[in-house]
Amino acid sequence: MTSDQAVPEFQHRTVLLEEAVDALDIAGARADGWYVDGTFGRGGHSRLILERLAPAGRLLAFDKDLQAIAAAQSIADPRFGVVHGSFAGMHEALAQRGVLQVQGVLLDLGISSPQVDDAARGFSFRGDGPLDMRMDTTRGMSAAEWLATEDERIIEKVIRDYGEERFAFQIAKAIAARRAIEPISGTRQLAEIVAHAVKTREKGKDPATRTFQAIRIFINKELEELEIGLEQAFQLLAPGGRMAVISFHSLEDRIVKQFMAGKARLPQPDRRLPIRAVDLPQPLLKLLGKAKPSDAEIAANPRARSAVLRVAERLSPAGERA
């Protein structure tokens, strides 16, 4: 969830604001470098990064949401630039600016409160609105269009895999039955279909939660873009550079955790080979731990409760910080 300054109708609080920017360690010579905010939102992280950058430092932000891009225009700082697009394209965008290495990358995954709270965006079943769910409304298929045309078995797989929903078969079957009678075009309409198909649910959790999450993730290619973005961030990081990633559900966090752990793991050569210790492959990342919101932050912003921040640092070829 990615904002601090909000559009007037929908307020949003940046989750783990200080912790995430602190993790980038913007100090000394590093404050003169390039940084990436892969999810601008309403600019909470970007503004704090700019406060800590030296005059020679630069920040490039990304967002697929046109409302976020509009909000970014209020930042009149020559050190700041913004790209309308996914952070999965950061390598190309930076290369176009002649940048081959950066000192830090921050990714704040998921959707922002302004997106959730605006019923017209179709992300939430709390209010009734068109079933859109696209972060970038200028391209791609809406959730309503996808549900109208996709094979029932694919819908089941998406809901099961991306929503971790054990009633995926029943929900997909109910969706197929309803669309044969009428178009499924509204958020409340879909929520009611799911509610009738789900026989039991965890206390305090709406039956439609997992289905809405699954369709949103699929429509926006969130997990595929995360995998691409993590690899590009790693390739761009200078030795000593850091990546900080905030995730909000287990699928995202699992990808981030496994990616960082894989780069931090020391490759194990064949013990039978005569390799000197100095010639052994070195780990590429150093894990710097994880953080979760404090009780006070969760009390002030309940949407922060599932957030997890993971931080890693790029190692030099010798395995030491530059």
Annotated binding site for S-adenosyl-L-methionine: 43-45, 63, 87, 108, 115
Token digits for 276?
Answer: 């000197």
Residue 310, sorted as left (phi over 0), alpha (psi -120 to 50) or beta, turns out to be beta
- Give the closest residue to 262 by CA, choosing from 217, 299, 222, 231: 231
User: Residues with Cβ < 8 Å from 271, sequence gap 6 or more?
Assistant: none
What interhelical angle do 209-219 and 152-163 show, nearest 10?
100
Cα 12–65–189 angle (5° rounding)?
Answer: 80
Provide the H-helix boundaries in the chain.
17-23, 44-52, 66-72, 90-96, 113-117, 143-149, 152-163, 168-179, 187-197, 209-219, 222-236, 250-264, 295-300
Annotated binding site: 43-45, 63, 87, 108, 115
245 with 109: CB under 8 angstroms? yes
Q: How far apart are CA 56 and CA 71, in angstroms?
A: 24
160 by DSSP, 3-state: which?
helix
Q: How far apart are CA 28 and CA 173, in angstroms?
A: 58
Kindly list the distances between the CA atom of residue 264 and the CA atoms of 6, 156, 237, 301, in Å, as whole numbers in the listed order: 37, 36, 14, 33
